[in-house]
Amino acid sequence: MLRFIAMRLVKAAIILIAIVTLNFFLIHAAPGDPAAVMAGEAGAADDIFLEQLREQFGLDKPLLTQLGLYLGGIIQLDLGFSYRQQMPVADLIFDRLPATLLLTMTAFVISLVLGTLAGVLASARVGKWSDTLISTVALLFYATPLYWAALMAVLIFSVQLNWLPGFGYETVGGNYEGLDRVIDIAKHLILPATTLGLFFMAVYMRMTRASMLEVSTLDFVKTARAKGLKPSIIQRRHVFRNALLPVVTLAGLQAGQLVGGAVLTETVFAWPGIGRLMFEALAQRDYNVLLGVFFVSAAMVLLFNLITDILYRVVDPRIRAS
């Protein structure tokens, strides 16, 4: 197992370097000059000032030289300097990463638990009205645009009913401490986490239902029925555990993607995470921040993929590391 993990880490490092290189060239191929944007906002867009800005932030160097310097910094965990925020990119990202992890992991748990439960219930009542109802509701959540669902959630539960706060990470000026602060953050978390979680719940529901139905037709399940085991025991001990493998695969992929994929949710709910930071950096042509967010997101995807491979052996002991 240790050799397997070491090999996967080496492969992940190579993939990460390739992703960083590709993102670097794509970002610099995009139209727009960060120096021109900063000079325009400063009200001094003459050529001399532009050259000074490019020299100050290393934008006057050849592209390959900039890439080499950036990769050298990545190896030392130096993600560069934000010329818009005037602080290291790593500090910017790691200040906002806890908020993103809190949001995305809560949404992940909501979607995985509700989706798996709905899939099990639907497969146990296949062809009945309850199966149709569950499938229809799940499809409705999946087909609804995420930004529209987020806006409607704010309008209904925050503006109209005034049940929950609609924006932010915590109450501005509340100065809560201890348990009161935890409760305040939890209230702000409910709407964005539920909105994001319900969108992905439908995917887990469909996957669990299809996998459960497929496993229920296998020979060992027929044997269990022939022995007279109760349907509930067959579903729980034989069908469900063997149907989990594709669900675990999908969950591992989406857990990593959620970290960098909550841009719309964080923007609508003004959640101070790296998704919103990426949106702001894109509007400001802050290349180093964009590259830093892409790097952290890619690293998270690779990390969760590795965790998924390790969990395979827990779910199905027949799978070996080789």
Q: Going residue by residue through the chain, which has 322 residues, state the pLDDT in tens, using 9 for 90 and above.
A: 677 778 878 888 888 888 888 888 887 776 666 666 666 655 555 666 667 667 766 667 777 887 887 888 888 888 877 777 778 888 888 888 888 888 888 888 888 888 888 888 888 777 788 888 888 888 888 888 877 888 888 888 888 888 888 788 877 777 778 888 888 888 888 888 888 888 788 888 888 888 888 887 777 778 877 877 777 777 777 777 777 778 877 777 777 667 655 777 888 888 888 888 888 887 777 778 888 888 888 888 888 778 877 777 666 666 665 4
**Is residue 161, in this structure, part of any structural domain at all?**
no
The SS3 of residue 16 is helix
Do 135 and 270 belong together in one domain?
A: yes
Do 272 and 293 belong together in one domain?
A: yes
Amino acid present at 180: D
Do 12 and 102 belong together in one domain?
A: no
**Is residue 46, in this structure, part of any structural domain at all?**
yes
**Is residue 176, in this structure, part of any structural domain at all?**
no
Report pLDDT for 259.
Answer: 65
- CA–CA gap between residue 231 and residue 97 (Å, rounded): 45
Q: Domain residues for 63?
A: 2-90
Do 107 and 235 belong together in one domain?
A: yes
Q: Note the pTM of the prediction, 2 decimals.
A: 0.76
Do 130 and 246 belong together in one domain?
A: yes
Count of structural domains, the chain: 2
Do 86 and 101 belong together in one domain?
A: no
**Is residue 252, in this structure, part of any structural domain at all?**
yes
Domain boundary among 67, 90, 113: 90
Do 120 and 34 belong together in one domain?
A: no
Closest by Cα among 159, 194, 208 to 271: 194
**Is residue 284, in this structure, part of any structural domain at all?**
yes
Is the distance from CB of 262 to CB of 104 less than 8 angstroms?
yes
Do 102 and 129 belong together in one domain?
A: yes
The residue with tokens 């998924």 is: 308
Report pLDDT for 119.
Answer: 85
Closest by Cα among 140, 117, 136 to 128: 136
- CA–CA gap between residue 95 and residue 86 (Å, rounded): 14
199-229: per-residue pLDDT in tens?
788 888 888 888 888 887 777 778 877 877 7
**Is residue 131, in this structure, part of any structural domain at all?**
yes
Report pLDDT for 43.
Answer: 58
Do 205 and 102 belong together in one domain?
A: yes
- CA–CA gap between residue 78 and residue 242 (Å, rounded): 44
Q: How far is CA 114 from the centre of its chain?
A: 18
* Residues, the chain: 322
* Structure tokens given for 247: 């669900």
Do 78 and 111 belong together in one domain?
A: no
Helix axis angle, 129-143 relative to 89-124, nearest 10°?
160
Do 43 and 76 belong together in one domain?
A: yes
Do 135 and 223 belong together in one domain?
A: yes
